[in-house]
């Protein structure tokens, strides 16, 4: 027996039936109240509408062979809808190589406690502010007041972060006031627990000083202090540590624990100061400090640009808390860190401007730097005195691109990267169009940057999709967060945008939000798929697009939904992430003309591209179709402009993203509940009859013989039509 439970209906058909498609009817209140009902569908086929969910085994079978189930029922039974998709493969238009990328913002602990592999939270004891005594959270004490007193003072050797931890140990290894067997000290739980893996090595770096000799145990333990996963001792005489001294320890874990902590303990009486305590896995992505499994999920998107580091994170609630790049470069110990007052947490800024540029380089993509332009959410610098902010931006470009002998290029070289980074795009602020000082300041930024770096492309905050901008720009920024229905309808948003010479569109933030989205629903993903098809078809005016936000640590959901969800040891992609995977071949591909002819009002959107696999050099036609309706569609695909045998019978495939319920989500317990299912396409050809499931996103990759396609000029007439 085959079972399909979809939204508010289920289909059950006997395996003895020779039909291949049955129509589906929604459950009536009476049927649901009775639990199930049988409806005669004709030709001896009975459709049973069920309230009960099918067994997990049957559901698993359904999703593994979702499309084959429908193909197994006979093709001659009436389907809900019929439609024709015409694809013209004889001509096409080049899609910009930059079309789809990623946007990283420090939100939801995306970087601190996420992409950046630092395990210690508040490593420099600066999160409590510059005044002492101060709060050392999340550091905590091991032992009671009769054994030690922990405080902070401003004795650090680092000028930009003066706060250090002072530990007065009152107990000793012998005598009347003996320390507990495990010692006394402090521990740091990291970002909701450190993930320590058996066999892996962790590098602990700390600065220490004392007026006497020390014997400090550095250990990784379980969340309660046991078991001990790895440990080593720092032993030093008084003359060696009378001044601040850097110590490094390598710890190899003998057990795994996803909720671990770092401990610094001693059984010797005396006063010890600690500062800048860091713990990182020795193995990070390319040795650059990034969490490997999170980067691998980004690699799979094949992003063509990286917009960073925000977002509102760049602005700050107040300018005093904005991201300022100069405070985030140089040796990590010397970075002061800052409180991100928009998203309400401290960052040590180990993931700084240099690291973002390095990340773009590691991903083989283009960096897009968003810098502060003297405006925050609550205060702004008057345009007449904005020059220091302009100078800061110019210095930032010099840091990225300047000669290694230049003032800021030399600092980049000292950090291990004498070659310039490939910075070609900058955004002047974020979401500030219309504010009092935006335009006046923007024009000054634009003039200064254009004069110093004429090849740099500049992005305005103002939307030019409906009317021309009143100021010079290479791109205008477009953001949209809305309901599923609205976003799907916005597939045509740029259809009527002027193609006259002028700036191109950069859709740098888009997502379905609100009740439709949950924490990452199929419904949201399908609406976004439709929107992206619209952007792809309008890629003569839209040159770049990215989803937002990219990451969320499940322990700090400041924003829902997000593309990638993680904690210290686990991760998964939401449907919105998997939708982006359908577009990995679009950037730089050739867009083909497509037309949908439907028998009734259609909820279908479609696009087609040709692309070449860089590994095996084989060429494909990729056809993507979103069905945003509740009806199954019998679709005929007809491809013109190809020779009779241009599509090879073997080597073609299809991929389907759908689920039993529109609000289905992935989770740590079910990370693959809503993911694309790929299968071979056995009836590949110029003419194909296929079934498009309700509420689904389907792609067909048709392997073709090498043929030439006439590339159209960059004109509006080359776009697809519906």
Q: What is the pLDDT of residues 257-312, one digit of tens each?
A: 999 999 999 999 999 999 999 999 999 999 999 999 999 999 999 999 999 999 99
Task: Write down the pLDDT at residue 707.
Answer: 55
Q: Is 465 a residue whose pLDDT tops 50? A: yes
Task: Write down the pLDDT at residue 711.
Answer: 65
Q: Is 514 a residue whose pLDDT tops 50? A: yes
Confidence of residue 708 (pLDDT cuts 50, 70, 90): low
Smallest CA-to-CA distance from 211 within 161, 144, 158, 268 is with: 268
Mean pLDDT of the chain: 89
Task: Write down the pLDDT at residue 40.
Answer: 31
Task: Write down the pLDDT at residue 36.
Answer: 33
State how far the Cα of 496 lies from the Cα of 475, in Å rounded to an integer.
17
Q: Which residues contact 107 (CB under 8 A, 6 or more apart)?
A: 310, 311, 312, 313, 342, 343, 549, 552, 558, 559
Confidence of residue 62 (pLDDT cuts 50, 70, 90): very low
Query: By percentage, how much of the chain surpasses pLDDT 90?
Result: 82
Q: Report CA-CA distances (Å) from 139 to 129, 135, 165, 170, 712.
A: 15, 9, 10, 19, 62
Q: % helix / strand / coil in the chain, to the nearest 5? A: 20, 35, 45
Task: Write down the pLDDT at residue 7.
Answer: 34
Average pLDDT over residues 454-468: 95
Task: Write down the pLDDT at residue 682.
Answer: 87
- Which carries the bigger pLDDT value, residue 1 or residue 116? 116
State how far the Cα of 638 lies from the Cα of 697, in Å rounded to an integer.
19
Q: Which residues contact 168 (CB under 8 A, 6 or more apart)?
A: 148, 149, 150, 151, 271
Q: Which residues contact 265 (CB under 8 A, 6 or more apart)?
A: 142, 182, 183, 184, 185, 216, 217, 219
Q: Is 509 a residue whose pLDDT tops 90? A: yes
Cβ atoms within 10 Å of 146's Cβ, excluding its own: 10
Average pLDDT over residues 26-32: 35
Q: Which residues contact 486 (CB under 8 A, 6 or more apart)?
A: none
Confidence of residue 643 (pLDDT cuts 50, 70, 90): confident
Q: What is the pLDDT of residues 547-602, one digit of tens each?
A: 999 999 999 999 999 999 999 999 999 999 999 999 999 999 999 999 999 876 67
Smallest CA-to-CA distance from 236 within 271, 209, 274 is with: 209
Task: Write down the pLDDT at residue 10.
Answer: 35
3-state secondary structure of 444: helix
Lowest mean pLDDT among 2-11, 407-416, 455-464, 512-521: 2-11
Q: What is the pLDDT of residues 110-146, one digit of tens each?
A: 999 999 999 999 999 999 999 999 999 999 999 999 9
3-state secondary structure of 644: coil
State how far the Cα of 280 lies from the Cα of 120, in Å rounded to an integer.
8
CA 508 from chain center: how many Å?
A: 13
H-helix segments, 204-268: none
């Amino acid at each position: 027996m085959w079972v399909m439970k979809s939204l508010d209906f289920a289909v059950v058909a006997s395996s003895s039936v020779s039909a291949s498609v049955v129509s589906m009817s929604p459950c009536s209140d009476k049927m649901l109240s009775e639990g199930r009902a049988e409806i005669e569908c004709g030709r001896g086929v009975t459709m049973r509408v069920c309230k009960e969910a099918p067994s997990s085994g049957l559901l698993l079978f359904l999703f593994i062979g979702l499309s084959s189930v429908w193909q197994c029922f006979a093709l001659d039974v009436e389907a809900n809808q019929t439609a024709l998709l015409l694809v013209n493969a004889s001509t096409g238009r080049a899609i910009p190589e930059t079309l789809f990328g990623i946007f990283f913002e420090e939100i939801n602990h995306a970087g601190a406690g996420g992409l950046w592999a630092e395990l210690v939270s508040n490593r420099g004891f600066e999160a409590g502010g510059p005044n002492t005594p101060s709060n050392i959270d999340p550091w905590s004490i091991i032992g009671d007041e009769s054994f030690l007193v922990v405080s902070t003072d401003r004795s650090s050797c680092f000028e930009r972060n003066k706060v250090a931890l002072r530990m007065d140990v009152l107990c000793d290894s012998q005598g009347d006031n003996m320390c507990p067997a495990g010692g006394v000290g402090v521990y740091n739980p990291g970002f909701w627990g450190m993930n320590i893996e058996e066999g892996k090595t962790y590098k602990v770096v700390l600065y220490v000083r004392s007026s006497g000799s020390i014997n400090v145990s550095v250990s990784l333990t379980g969340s309660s202090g046991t078991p001990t996963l790895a440990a080593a001792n720092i032993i030093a005489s008084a003359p060696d540590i009378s001044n601040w001294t850097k110590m490094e320890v390598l710890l190899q874990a003998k057990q795994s624990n996803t909720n671990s902590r770092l401990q610094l303990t001693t059984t010797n009486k005396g006063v010890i100061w600690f500062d800048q305590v860091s713990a990182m896995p020795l193995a990070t992505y390319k040795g650059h400090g990034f969490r490997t499994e999170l980067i691998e999920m980004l690699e799979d998107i094949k992003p063509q640009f990286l917009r960073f580091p925000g977002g509102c994170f760049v602005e700050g609630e107040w300018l005093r808390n904005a991201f300022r790049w100069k405070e985030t470069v140089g040796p990590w110990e010397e970075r002061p860190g800052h409180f991100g007052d928009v998203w309400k947490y401290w960052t040590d800024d180990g993931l700084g401007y240099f690291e973002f540029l390095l990340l773009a380089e590691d991903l083989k993509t283009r960096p897009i730097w968003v810098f502060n332009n003297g405006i925050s959410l609550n205060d702004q610098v008057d345009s007449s005195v904005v020059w220091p902010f302009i100078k800061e931006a110019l210095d930032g470009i010099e840091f990225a691109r300047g000669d290694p002998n230049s003032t800021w290029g030399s600092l980049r070289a000292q950090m291990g990267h004498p070659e310039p980074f490939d910075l070609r795009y900058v955004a002047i602020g974020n979401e500030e169009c219309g504010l009092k000082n935006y335009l006046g300041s923007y024009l000054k930024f634009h003039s200064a940057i254009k004069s110093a770096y004429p090849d740099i492309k500049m992005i305005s905050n103002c939307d030019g999709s409906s009317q021309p901008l009143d100021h010079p720009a290479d791109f205008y920024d477009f953001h949209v967060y809305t309901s599923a229905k609205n976003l799907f309808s916005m597939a045509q948003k740029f259809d009527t945008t002027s193609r006259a010479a002028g700036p191109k569109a950069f859709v740098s933030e888009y997502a379905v939000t609100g009740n439709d989205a949950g924490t990452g629903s199929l419904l949201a993903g399908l609406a976004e798929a439709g929107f992206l098809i619209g952007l792809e078809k309008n890629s003569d005016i839209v040159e770049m697009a990215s989803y937002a936000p990219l990451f969320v640590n499940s322990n700090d959901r400041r924003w829902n939904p997000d593309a990638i969800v993680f904690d210290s040891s686990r991760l998964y992609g939401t449907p919105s992430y998997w939708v982006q995977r359908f577009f990995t071949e679009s950037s730089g591909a050739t867009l083909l003309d497509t037309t949908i002819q439907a028998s009734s009002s259609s909820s279908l959107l479609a696009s087609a591209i040709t692309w070449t696999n860089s590994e095996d050099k084989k060429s494909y036609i990729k056809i993507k179709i979103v069905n945003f309706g509740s009806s199954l569609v019998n679709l005929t695909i007809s491809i013109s402009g190809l020779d009779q045998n241009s599509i090879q019978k073997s080597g073609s495939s299809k991929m389907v993203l759908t689920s039993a319920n529109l609000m289905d989500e992935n989770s740590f317990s079910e990370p693959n509940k809503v993911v694309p299912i790929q299968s071979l396409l056995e009836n590949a050809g110029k003419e194909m009859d296929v079934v498009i499931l309700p509420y689904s996103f389907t792609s067909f990759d048709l392997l073709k013989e090498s043929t030439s396609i006439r590339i159209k000029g960059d004109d509006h007439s080359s776009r697809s039509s519906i």
